[in-house]
Amino acid sequence: MSAPSRTHPSGRGQALSAQIDGQPPLQRDPAVTIFQKGAPSRRAFVCPELDVPAAAGAELLPERFRRSQAPALPEVSEPEIVRHYVSLSKRNFDLDSGFYPLGSCTMKHNPRLHERAAALPGHARLHPLQDADCAQGALELMFNLQRALAEISGLEHVCLAPSAGSHGELAGVLLTRAYHEARGEVRRKVLTPDTAHGTNPATVTMAGLEVVKLATNDAGGVDLDDLREKADSDVACLMLTNPNTLGLFDPNIEQIAQIVHGVGATLYYDGANLNAVMGLSRPGDMGFDIVHFNLHKSFTQPHGGGGPGAGPIAVSERIAPFLPPGLVKRGEDGTFAFAPTAPSSIGRLRGFHGNYGCFVRAYAYICSLGGDGLRDASETAVVNANYLLARLQQTVEPDVRSHLPLAYGPSREDGGQLCMHEFVLSGGPMRRALGVKTVDLAKRLLDFGFHPPTVYFPLLVEEALMVEPTETETKETLDAFADAIAAIIGEAIEDPQIAQNAPYSTPVRRLDEVAAAKRPVVREQR
């Protein structure tokens, strides 16, 4: 975790040159894919014996339906497979190895109890078309999770089915459309602030509606004048993240809700930042009609290097008739079953009932923490973010604050600023003063053993650096990260090239992404 500067005023640590010029780390072996390994007829799989009469192949399947050449899958032994993927794993950074303050991604600890529970055969080998009377445990779990998410969001009706956040968003926009259509209205526009996640506008287009951007005011919230101007009878919905991607809770949320509801539109809550407000404030109470949750963010489903996730939605009474299939209800006799799908439903969004394996983990998390524990988690997440922000803004030697100022945020009496569970710094001054861009800072952080924050998002902040520490990090880790940022700025003041050419200690160094996109090679060549 320590890769301090060779010239840092504090003089701590070893010489950087050892990393730049020394022996390459072990994970620097040339990249060789599994398709380049092995040898003809080498194998791991032993096929079960053919225990039925061996009919002539053509008798069972006409020749014209048969494949002419076997797919060229790897020919490798089990030990080769294990070595290969274990060695690949060592070329990955992961949450269990170090701090991962990726903004709007909520990289909190993934308790291993959840993996153990999800792997129980009663969950893991349960077929999705098992009869309800033979899946009562699973249905009860889903029912309980629906109830818990309803309570957390303050919205009564929950559908667990969407596969991820963006899938939940699509459900939300389709629900909005269906709601308006049922009232005989065709509304074409969806308002999204310019701070919105990219999935919001992409979703709107996929749902056949049109994106209208809303401006951000000086305090980092929705510009109410712009909203009043754009809110008209053609607006179907406003999609909002609160706290938003600047890490700020919009203090005008009730006014926003009034304006949006005033023109008959719905209010959609992107739950990516729910980790700031669990048990403290509820989207339903703020006036939202539709919420999606990211079980892989707020509720500890491990992210898996890019999924799986799950994106359940919760909606108000007026949206409920349009929900997709997959709602679990409890009958009068206490048994559980899937509710019949209403004729007014927007229809199915995917196969079966959703990512149940993620439900098991999220439910285990909620059971472990309970209501008070969830509130504590959010409180600690906000304290951690504010502490890290304060540490960074108070570091004077070198002057971190002038290089990386907070982009937006309410002031404290003593001149400092506050945030919710994450905050966004601007690397603009750093770039102008030192010629070091946010991407350089991020790459140099890799040498210090940290995953960098989210960079260049939200788009309205110059050289944005979006930091979300989460509640599961210790003060020591936050301090070490603040020290690393200070050290990088310190060394950049001396020699900006150190950051500009970073990283040095990783399995590969900066990669040519332009070449990759220009002449795409997306599979191993034969």
Q: Measured from the CB of residue 208, what is the shortest distance to other proteins in angstroms?
A: 4
Asked if 450 and 98 count as a contact pair (C-beta separation under 8 A), the reply is yes
Cβ count near 297 (within 10 Å): 24
Cβ count near 391 (within 10 Å): 18
Q: What is the DSSP letter of 52?
A: S
Can you read off the two tokens belonging to residue 445?
């952080």
Nearest CB to other proteins, comparing residues 426 and 505:
505
Q: Measured from the CB of residue 36, what is the shortest distance to other proteins in angstroms?
A: 10
Q: Which residue type does 323 have?
A: L
Question: Measured between alpha carbons, how far is 417 from 215 in angstroms, rounded to an integer?
Answer: 22
Question: Measured between alpha carbons, how far is 282 from 15 in angstroms, rounded to an integer?
Answer: 50
**Cα torsion angle, 71, 77, 81, 84, sign:** negative
Can you read off the two tokens belonging to residue 402?
């002038």
Q: Which residue type does 448 have?
A: F
CA separation, residue 479 to residues 99, 138, 366, 379, 469 (Å):
11, 43, 29, 19, 11
Nearest CB to other proteins, comparing residues 118 and 465:
118
Q: Measured from the CB of residue 170, what is the shortest distance to other proteins in angstroms?
A: 6
Nearest CB to other proteins, comparing residues 14 and 33:
33
Nearest CB to other proteins, comparing residues 18 and 134:
134
Asked if 273 and 420 count as a contact pair (C-beta separation under 8 A), the reply is yes
Nearest CB to other proteins, comparing residues 34 and 215:
34
Q: Measured from the CB of residue 282, what is the shortest distance to other proteins in angstroms?
A: 6
Name the pairing type of β-strands 157-159 and 313-315.
antiparallel
Question: Measured between alpha carbons, how far is 320 from 304 in angstroms, rounded to an integer?
Answer: 32
CA dihedral of residues 427, 428, 434, 439 (deg, nearest 10): 50
Nearest CB to other proteins, comparing residues 220 and 493:
220
Q: Measured from the CB of residue 433, what is the shortest distance to other proteins in angstroms?
A: 25
Q: Which residues contact 526 (CB under 8 A, 6 or more apart)?
A: 72
Q: Which residues contact 413 (CB under 8 A, 6 or more apart)?
A: none
Q: Measured from the CB of residue 232, what is the shortest distance to other proteins in angstroms?
A: 19
Give the three-class secondary structure for 5: coil
Give the three-class secondary structure for 188: coil
Nearest CB to other proteins, comparing residues 123 and 433:
123
Nearest CB to other proteins, comparing residues 338 and 399:
338
| Closest-CA residue to 504 (of 89, 18, 30) | 18
Cβ count near 344 (within 10 Å): 13
Q: Which residue type does 6 have?
A: R
Nearest CB to other proteins, comparing residues 179 and 356:
356
Nearest CB to other proteins, comparing residues 164 and 260:
164
Q: Measured from the CB of residue 161, what is the shortest distance to other proteins in angstroms?
A: 9
Instruction: Give the gyration radius of the chain's Cα atoms.
Output: 26
The span from the first CA to the last CA of the chain, in angstroms, equals 40
Nearest CB to other proteins, comparing residues 284 and 493:
284
Beta strands in 143-234 (DSSP E): 157-159, 189-193, 210-214
CA separation, residue 494 to residues 22, 167, 434, 502 (Å):
22, 47, 9, 15
Q: Measured from the CB of residue 11, what is the shortest distance to other proteins in angstroms?
A: 25
Nearest CB to other proteins, comparing residues 228 and 510:
510
Q: Measured from the CB of residue 407, what is the shortest distance to other proteins in angstroms?
A: 16
Nearest CB to other proteins, comparing residues 420 and 493:
420
Supply angle C-alpha 299, 304, 308, rounded to 5.
Answer: 65
Asked if 405 and 425 count as a contact pair (C-beta separation under 8 A), the reply is yes
Phi and psi angles of residue 421, each rounded to the nearest 5 degrees, phi first: -85, -5
